[in-house]
Structure formats: structure tokens, C-alpha cells
Structure 1
Amino acid sequence: MQQTPVQNHNRNNTSSFTLVLAFILIWFTLVAQFYISIPAYMSGGRSFPGTLVQLFSYFTIQVNLLAGLGLGALLLKPSTAFSKYFSQGYVLTGVALYITIVGLVYNIILRSLWHPIGLLKITDELLHLINPILFVVYWLIFVPKERLKWTQSLNWLWFPFLYLVYILIRGAITQIYPYPFIDAGKLGYYTIIINSLLLLVVFLLLGLLLILLTRTLSPKSSTDTHITSDP
């Protein structure tokens, strides 16, 4: 059924509002998290560069940063190489995959392990619950869908795989691991390998589900050139 001009106008307004809201919340969260964490880490004797490395070693921070860049690209429109890349359907769907995993893993496995208070509690909820929901809702409802290839679900595994390699190498040197389920010092490498394989399977299955959604929701023929899939 074809939408009326009024319906299209209302949809565009809702889309713009959701986009701006998600963009503001994600970047507010990142700034607030760094504002809280940098003094806390440095008061414990860590250097400023070491503090930044530690913060950027969290998968949650990296993925929220990717989400913020993707939403920023949509706001700027694909007028630069940067915004063209981050506004691709393939890239946005990958970010939707990663931020969904962030929300699921934290709320199922990690939430009970600590109890932040104050502003840290707010940023914690934004990073692991509100931001993932907002981004996925925006992607699901408002981002034009392109029929992605099934094999692209394998490409999305490279980011978590390289992240894992980095964390294990850094952990072997510093004995610092950002998440307890990949703490090789306590669990041993055999358990870490099993946990990692299980997570990669979850990434793969959820990625296939998102591709199914893009193939189901994409129009039979699309003239939209604003968001394109990865070739």
C-alpha cells in the first residue's frame, strides 16, 4: 500500500528524531564514560595513555563508538568517503549485530557481577541497554534494507575474532582481561577457546538472522542509492 505524503512526512520526522536522539545519547554516553573512568584509572596509578588503551580494550566501547560513527554518517549524508562507508547497509547491519551482542552478553552474563551507582549506573545502562535498543530499532524500522549476501555473515566475524586475538595477546603480557569469560589467567586457554567458539557461533547465527531480515524487508526493486550493501 502506497503511503500518503502526510504519512511519509510523519515517518521522516520520526526517523529524524530517532536518529538524532540515538546519536546524542551514544556520544553523551561515551564522553561521560571517559569523564568518569579516566580519573578513576589514573588515581590507581595507571598512566593517561594506559588508561585510554584500557578503555578502548572494551568491546562495548568499541561497538558504541562504531554505532556513533554510523549514526553520524547518516546525519551528514554520504558526501564524504567516511560517511559513504559508514552509511552502507552492510556496515550498519554489522554494527547492529555487534551492538545486539553487547546488550545480550551484558544483560545475560555480566549484569549480576557488579552494581554501579550514580552517573556510572546511568552510563552503564546506556552502553548496554538503551543504546543497543535505540540503534537496532532505528536500523530495523528506518534504514532502507538491501538484500545482503549470506556469506557476508562470515565477514562480520573478523572484527570479534581480531578483537579476541588482541585481548589474549595483551592479557598474556599484562594479565589484564576486560571480561571474565575470556580471562585466560583464571580459566585457562582451553576454556577460553570453548567460550570464544560459542560466542563466534552466536555472532554467526545472529548475523544470519539479520541478513534474513534484510532479504525479507528489502523491496523487490529499489531505487534508493543512499545506503548500499557491500559488494
Structure 2
Amino acid sequence: MRAVHKRTLLTVMALLGWSGLAIQLDMVLLARWTSGASLLGGLVNYFSFFTILTNTLVATVLTYAADTRSSKGRAFFLQPWVSSGIGVSIIVVGVAYSLLLRNLWQPQGLQWLANELLHDVMPVLFTLYWWFCVPKGALRLSHIGLWGLYPIVYFAYILLRGHLLGVYPYPFIDVEKLGYAQTFVNALGILAGFVLVALVIVALDRWRGRQTLSRDL
């Protein structure tokens, strides 16, 4: 693919990511405004979802990938181990939503659009970006431990926030309804899925890396 076409495609992908985030934020703030609730509280609640945080990282990577200008942010986010870790997280977002949350509600209108972009479209697009654009052969099993810090720290934050406010972003980690024992079982299940996806990503990275090396020899 020619460089200009590649940048155009990456720009479109980044815009789709930011659009989904913007639509969801607009609806959250509008709902808070019409109900007289705190907009700051709505903003904090918005960024308390793993889906939102991960899609923000995805859109950031795609934005840097589409922009050829050098910067510290671009140098960091386009490192294969960083982009790959974000790839693992967005795949988990898509799979977890399809398995655990999709049947719990039926969004309509703009909510449906935002929902599709954040849970279905962006996981697929970023997986394709990872497969075709991220250099292969640099991942190690030790990277999985680094990637795992993200969901672990997130879970700890959600537990603390829920303890203080009594609000949990996802039903499968709602301590008030499930209790701590079941919540931790559910969280460990999600973490196990995360590690499984990470192992697959590392294996594919090594396989593609060996293929590239064989062609270059």
C-alpha cells in the first residue's frame, strides 16, 4: 500500500475511534445536564469504564500512526510492545462485551452507533492495524506481565471507587450485588481471558517475525 493511502486509511480509523468516544461523552454529559447532575461527576464516570480508557488508547495509537511527525508520544505509543498491549486490551473489550454484556440492553440511535464503534468496529480495526502495520518479532512473554498491570490497576481503582461511591461500571464486578468473593472470581476469569489473548498475540508475533526473517535471508 502506498504511504499516502496508508496514512489516509489510518486517519479514517482514528477518526472513527474519536467519533465513538465523542458521541458517548456527549450523551453522558447531556444526560447529566438535563437531570441537573454534576458534569464533572459525569466526566469522571465516563472515564471509569475500561472500554472508554482502552478505546482512548486505541485512537491515540492510530492518530500517531497516521501522523509522520516525530514526537515523544509517537515514539512511545508506536513501540511494538506498547501497541500490542493495547491490542490485547481492545480485543478483550470486544470479546467480553459480546459474551457478557450485549444481551443485557438494546441501545438505540446514537447510543447504538457509539456502542458499535467502541465495542465492535474499533476492536476489529485495531486488530487489523496490529496485524498489518506493527513490526513483528519483538514481543516476549515478559511483556504479558507489563500488559497485565493495566487491567489489574483498573480493577483495584474500580473496587476503591465502588467502595466510596457504591457505583460499579459493570454488572459482573458489582460488589454490592455479587459480594467480594464472586466479584473476584469474575475478575480472575476476565484476567485469564486477557492472558490467553496476550499469549496468542505473542505467538502470532513470533510466527510473523520468523516469516519476515526467512524472507529477508
TM-score range, shorter chain: over 0.9
Q: 2:131 aligns with which of 115, 123, 140?
A: 140
Aligned residue for 1:115, secondary structure, equals: coil
**Displacement, 1:221?**
8.2
Are 2:108 and 1:108 equivalent residues in the alignment? no
Q: 1:95 aligns with which of 86, 106, 110?
A: 86
Q: 1: CA distance between counterparts of 2:153 and 2:129? A: 27
User: Taking structure 1 as reference, are residues 171 and 20 closer, same or farther at Cα in structure 2, changes over 3 Å only?
Assistant: same
Aligned residues: 214
Matches within 5 A, 1:179-198: 179-198=170-189
**Displacement, 1:78?**
6.2
Q: 1: CA distance between counterparts of 2:85 and 2:195? A: 11
Q: 2:26 aligns with which of 35, 57, 60?
A: 35
Counterpart position of 1:151: 142
Q: Which runs of structure 1 show a deviation greater than 2 angstroms over 4 or more consecutive aligned residues?
A: 10-18, 41-46, 219-223
TM score, norm. by length of structure 2: 0.93
**Displacement, 1:16?**
3.1
Q: 2: CA distance between counterparts of 1:82 and 1:17? A: 20
Q: Write the letter of the residue equivalent to 1:195.
A: N
Q: 2:213 aligns with which of 199, 215, 220?
A: 220
1:77-132 CA distance string (max 9 Å, x none): 36111110011101110111000000001111100111111111111111100111
Compare the two structures and name the one with the higher helix fraction: 2
Aligned residue for 1:42, secondary structure, equals: helix
Q: 2: CA distance between counterparts of 1:67 and 1:222? A: 30
User: Taking structure 1 as reference, are residues 197 and 138 closer, same or farther at Cα in structure 2, changes over 3 Å only?
Assistant: same
Say what the alpha-carbon RMSD is for the aligned residues: 1.8
Does the Cα contact within 8 Å between 1:55 and 1:61 map onto a contact in 2? yes
> Could you list the runs of 5+ residues in structure 2 that have no partner in the other structure?
none
1:18-51 CA distance string (max 9 Å, x none): 3122111001111111111111133334311111
> Could you list the runs of 5+ residues in structure 1 that have no partner in the other structure?
1-9, 224-231
Counterpart position of 1:67: 58
Q: Write the letter of the residue equivalent to 1:175.
A: G
Q: 1: CA distance between counterparts of 2:86 and 2:194? A: 12
Does the Cα contact within 8 Å between 1:77 and 1:84 map onto a contact in 2? no
